[in-house]
Amino acid sequence: MGYVVRAMEREPIVFVGTSDLSAHFRGKSFPVADLPSRLRRGVGLAPANMFLSSFGPIQVNPLGAQGEVVLLPDPSTRVLVPFEDGPAENFFLGDIRTLEGAPWNFCPRHVLRRAVERLHGETGLRILASFEQEFTYSGVAEHPQQPYELDAYRRQGLFGETLLAAMRQAGVIPDAFISEYGPCQFEVTSQPAFGLRAADDAVITRELAQAVAFRLGERVSFAPIHDPNQVGSGTHIHWSFVDRDGQAVLYDETRRWGLSTIGCSFVAGVLHHLPALCAITAASVASYYRLRPNRWAPVKADAGHLNRGAAVRIAPLFDRDPNESARQFNIEFRVADATANPYLALAVLIQAGLDGVRNARQIDAAPVRPLPTSLIEALTLLEDSHDAAEWLGAELLSAYLLFKRAEAHELRNVDEKEICRRYSEVY
Ligand code: GLU
Ligand code: MG
C-alpha cells in the first residue's frame, strides 16, 4: 500500500511574466506573501530569457549567459481568478528594467509605450485598440465543419461562458465569443482599451483561455494555422483614436469610406510600411501559410471597405446615431496572428501610421504590393527598413532578425504539415 500524501495547507504563489519575442508568456513566480517587496524590486531575469524560442529551447542568444535584468510587476495588471478546483490564476504582467531601473531596450511593453507616447506627443491622439483572437478548442468532438452554427457554439459547453467570466474578473471586458468558420475554431474579442492596456488585454485573454481549457481537461491553440490546406486563425487588431477632448476622430461621413483625413494618412502609412511589418505581425514560418488566397486572410498590402480579404479593413457602421457612429467606427488590421508579440505588433502599427500622418500619405498613392510569402522574405524587408530600426531600436531589431532567422533555419527541411503541427503544439 502506498502513502497518501495530502498537504493540509497551501501557500499561494503569484507569477509575473511578459510576452517575449516569441510571444510566449514567460516569467517567474514567488510567494504572494512577498508581493509588497516584489512590486518594488521585481524578480531577476537573465537577459537571455527574451531569446527562448517559439519551441522552448534557446535557439540563438546574442546576449550570452551574461547579465541580469529585472522583471517588475505592474500593479495595474493583476489577474486573480479563483477556480473551484486547484489554485487561482494569479499573475501580473511586468516591465523589464535594467539593474539601474531604466527601461530595458528589449522590453516589449516599453517599445509599445514609446510608440503610444510618440503618437500622443505629435498628434494629441490616443489610440484605442482591441485584439480579436481566433483559436481552436480541443473540447469539441471531431465533427464536420459547422461554420458559425449555433450547434457548434453549443458543443463547446462551458468553455465560452467560463472564459468570459474569467476575463471580466481580470478586468478585461469581453465583447464577443463566437463559433468561427474552421473546424473547432472560435474567436474571442474584448472591448477597446487605450494603448498599452489593449495589448495587455490580449495577453491576459490568451492566458485565461488556456487556463479555462486546462481546467476542463482541454487545450486551446492560437497557432496561425493547423493544416496548410485549412483556414487559419488570425489575431486581428482593431483601432480608433480620440483627441485631447476625448472626441473620436477617425470618422468623417463626408469622405470616402467615412474615413477622416488623419485616419486616411494613418492607414496609408501602415500600407506603405506593411510588407516589412509582416516580420513582426506574422512572426512565424507557419504565419505565411495562413496568408494565402481565398481564406479571408490578406495577401496584398491593401485597404478595403468591408473587405475581409484586405490587409486593412475599414469596418462597418452599425449605429445610425452620428455620435455613436464616430465612437464605434474603427479600422481592422488583419495581417497579425498569435505568434506575434502583441506589444511589438501594436507598436509598429502605430509608428507606421504616425509616419503616414507626418508625411500626409495617401492610400492610393502607390501600386498595391503583395505581402511577403515567407518569414525569411519578411525578415529581409524588415532589415531593409530604416524606419523599423528607429521604431524598435537598432539593438532589438538586429537581435530579432537573428532570433527569427534561426527559427526559420531550424524548420528549413520540415514539410508544411509538420511545421503547422509543431506550432499548434506550442501556441
Ligand atoms: N480566419 C481568418 C483569418 O485567418 C479570418 C476570418 C474572419 O474574418 O473572421 O484571418
Ligand atoms: Mg474571425
Q: pLDDT, tens digit, for every residue of 348-396?
A: 999 999 999 999 999 988 889 999 999 999 999 999 999 999 999 999 9
Dihedral sign (CA 182, 188, 194, 196):
negative
Query: How high is the pLDDT of residue 141?
Result: 78
Q: 296 C-alpha vs ligand 1 centroid, how far in Å?
A: 5
pLDDT above 80 (res 2): no
Indicate if ligand 1 lies below 6 Å from the C-beta of 334: yes
Q: CA 326 to CA 253: how far, in whole Å?
A: 9
What average pLDDT does this structure show over 71-99? 95
Atom of ligand 1 at shortest range from CA of 290: 4
> Whose CA is closest to atom 10 on ligand 1?
234
Atom of ligand 1 at shortest range from CA of 231: 1
> Whose CA is closest to atom 5 on ligand 1?
296
Residues near 316 by beta carbon (within 8 Å), at least 6 away in sequence: 306
Query: How high is the pLDDT of residue 419?
Result: 98
Indicate if ligand 1 lies below 6 Å from the C-beta of 296: yes
What average pLDDT does this structure show over 172-194? 94
What average pLDDT does this structure show over 34-62? 89
Indicate if ligand 1 lies below 6 Å from the C-beta of 308: yes
Q: 421 C-alpha vs ligand 1 centroid, how far in Å?
A: 19
C-alpha cell at 116: 503610444
Q: 159 C-alpha vs ligand 2 centroid, how far in Å?
A: 18
Give how far Cα 346 sits from Cα of 200, 238, 241, 387, Å.
11, 10, 14, 15
* Beta strand segments in 165-316, E: 174-179, 185-190, 193-194, 220-221, 235-242, 303-305, 312-314
Atom of ligand 1 at shortest range from CA of 233: 4
Measured over all CA atoms, what is the biggest interatomic distance in the chain, rounded to whole angstroms?
80
Dihedral sign (CA 364, 366, 368, 369):
negative
Note whether 13-104 and 111-426 share their fold: no
> Whose CA is closest to atom 3 on ligand 1?
234
Which of 47-61, 119-133, 176-190, 270-284 comes out lowest in average pLDDT?
A: 47-61
Q: CA 266 to CA 122: how far, in whole Å?
A: 13
pLDDT above 60 (res 3): no
Q: Is the domain covering 13-104 a CATH 3.10.20.70 domain?
A: yes
pLDDT above 60 (res 107): yes
> Residues with beta carbon < 5 A to ion ligand 2?
187
Neighbours of 57 (CB within 10 A): 7
β-pair type (235-242, 220-221) = unpaired
H or E element: which one contains 181? none
Q: 9 C-alpha vs ligand 1 centroid, how far in Å?
A: 46
What average pLDDT does this structure show over 168-196? 95
Helix (H, G, I), strand (E, B), or coil: what is residue 291?
coil
Indicate if ligand 1 lies below 6 Å from the C-beta of 231: yes
Residues near 423 by beta carbon (within 8 Å), at least 6 away in sequence: 54, 223, 224, 225, 284, 285, 286, 339
pLDDT above 70 (res 234): yes
Task: Map out the domains of the chain as residue ranges.
Answer: 13-104, 111-426
What is the number of the ligand closest to the CA of 292? 1
58, 51 in Cβ contact below 8 A?
yes
pLDDT above 60 (res 55): yes
> Whose CA is closest to atom 7 on ligand 1?
296
Indicate if ligand 1 lies below 6 Å from the C-beta of 226: no
Q: Which residue has the higher pLDDT, 177 or 146?
A: 177
Dihedral sign (CA 206, 208, 210, 216):
negative
Backbone angles phi, psi at 36, to 5 degrees: -55, -45
Neighbours of 410 (CB within 10 A): 17
407, 295 in Cβ contact below 8 A?
no
pLDDT-based confidence at residue 7 (cuts at 50, 70, 90): low
Query: How high is the pLDDT of residue 37?
Result: 97
Atom of ligand 1 at shortest range from CA of 308: 8
315-351 CB burial, b ≥16 within 10 A, e <16: bebeeeeeeebbbbbbbbbbbbbbbbbbbbbbbbbbb
Q: 28 C-alpha vs ligand 2 centroid, how far in Å?
A: 33
Indicate if ligand 1 lies below 6 Å from the C-beta of 132: no
Q: For 404-426, how does the pLDDT look when each residue is reduced to its tens digit (9 = 90+)?
A: 999 999 999 999 999 999 999 99
Dihedral sign (CA 198, 202, 207, 211):
positive
Q: For 307-325, how does the pLDDT look when each residue is reduced to its tens digit (9 = 90+)?
A: 888 999 998 777 677 677 7
Which of 312, 317, 342, 338 minimizes the C-alpha distance to 327?
A: 317
H or E element: which one contains 4? none
What is the number of the ligand closest to the CA of 177? 2
Mean pLDDT estimate for the chain: 93
- CATH number assigned to the domain with residue range 111-426, chosen from the 4 options 3.40.50.300, 3.40.440.10, 2.40.50.140, 3.30.590.10: 3.30.590.10
